[in-house]
């Protein structure tokens, strides 16, 4: 076997179908592109189909099939309906639960609605989408689930209590799913990004003092980009990660080791 054949066998995703949530921008967009480059067909999920048009056009250039599905992740009934529809229309081999929301405010000023909205998108919607898709994976004896956690799966953060709680939960849920499904042919893992230049971190980027303070704390000397994360996701989706189960892979420029 040539080295090229080995690489394709270990890291190639041809013949697989991947569903990526929050695919319009940021880490979701970069991940969708990376998985398409590895050969996976794609189902792109976002708030509205129109917003996914640019990504759909981009990934279709790699010769894979792609379709977009619009859904409001705060509406759990709609999320469940989308999951059923996707499963009925064909198998999903790879699920990347990337979509997430954040609310920045002191905990004492958060309302019940603020808290509930974040937990609904970041945790409840993950359950609603994953369970029907994982059931199909288990029936076929193969599947990859990658959840997007955070540095705040390990730390408390400042003024982001609901986000922190949801991301701690994602790390725990990843391990719980892996414990139940690993022996059934399903790999469940998570990626925990550090400080990444995305829409969710825009307020921090705009704060010159805080941004500089964060940058000084990162051993790599810079904030990450979505492209710094998608390779880790692609690895966890590949055959090369076949014996990786219940792991939360930190991709943070060295922040956690500081």
Q: What integer pLDDT is reported at residue 200 of this predicted model?
A: 83
Q: What integer pLDDT is reported at residue 199 of this predicted model?
A: 85
**What does the angle CA 116 – CA 118 – CA 123 come to, to the nearest 5 degrees?**
95
Q: Coil, strand or helix: which one is 1?
A: coil
Catalytic residue among 31, 44, 163, 164: 163
**Strand 17-21 and strand 66-70: pairing?**
unpaired
Quote the mean pLDDT of the chain.
96
Q: What integer pLDDT is reported at residue 203 of this predicted model?
A: 87
Q: What percent of the chain has pLDDT over 70?
A: 100
Q: What integer pLDDT is reported at residue 179 of this predicted model?
A: 98
Catalytic status, residue 163: yes
pLDDT digits (tens, 9 = 90+) for 199-251: 888 888 898 988 999 999 999 999 999 999 999 999 999 999 999 999 999 99
What residue spans define the domains of the chain? Answer: 3-252
Q: What integer pLDDT is reported at residue 188 of this predicted model?
A: 98
Q: What integer pLDDT is reported at residue 156 of this predicted model?
A: 97
Q: What integer pLDDT is reported at residue 202 of this predicted model?
A: 86
Number of H helices, E strands in the chain: 10, 7
255's tokens: 């922040």
Measured CA distances, 72 to 14, 83, 108, 132 (Å)? 30, 13, 27, 18
Q: Tell me the C-alpha distance between 105 and 245, whole Å.
A: 35
- pLDDT lower than 70: segments of the chain: none
177's tokens: 């799913």
Q: What integer pLDDT is reported at residue 201 of this predicted model?
A: 87
Let me know if domain 3-252 sits in CATH 3.40.50.720.
yes
């Amino acid at each position: 076997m040539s080295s090229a054949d080995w690489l394709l066998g270990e890291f190639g995703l041809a013949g697989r179908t991947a569903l990526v949530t929050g695919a319009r921008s940021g880490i979701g967009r970069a991940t969708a592109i990376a998985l398409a480059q590895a050969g996976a067909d794609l189902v792109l999920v976002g708030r509205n189909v129109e917003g996914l048009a640019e990504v759909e056009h981009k990934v279709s250039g790699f010769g894979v099939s792609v379709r977009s599905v619009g859904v409001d992740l705060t509406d759990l009934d709609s999320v469940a309906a989308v999951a059923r529809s996707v499963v009925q229309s064909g198998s999903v081999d790879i699920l990347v639960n990337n979509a997430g929301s954040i609310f920045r405010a002191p905990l004492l000023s958060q309302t019940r609605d603020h808290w509930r909205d974040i937990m609904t998108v970041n945790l409840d919607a993950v359950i609603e989408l994953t369970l029907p898709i994982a059931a199909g994976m288990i029936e076929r004896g193969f599947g990859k689930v990658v959840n997007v956690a955070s540095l705040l799966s390990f730390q408390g953060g400042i003024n982001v209590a609901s986000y922190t709680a949801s991301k701690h939960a994602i790390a725990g849920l990843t391990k719980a799913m892996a414990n139940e499904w690993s022996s059934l042919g399903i790999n469940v893992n998570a990626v925990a990004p550090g400080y990444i230049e995305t829409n969710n971190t825009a307020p921090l980027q705009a704060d010159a003092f805080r941004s500089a303070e964060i940058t000084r704390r990162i051993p790599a000397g810079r904030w990450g980009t979505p492209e710094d994360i998608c390779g880790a996701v692609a690895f966890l989706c590949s055959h090369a990660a076949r014996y990786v189960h219940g792991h939360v892979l930190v991709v943070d420029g060295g922040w956690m080791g500081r």
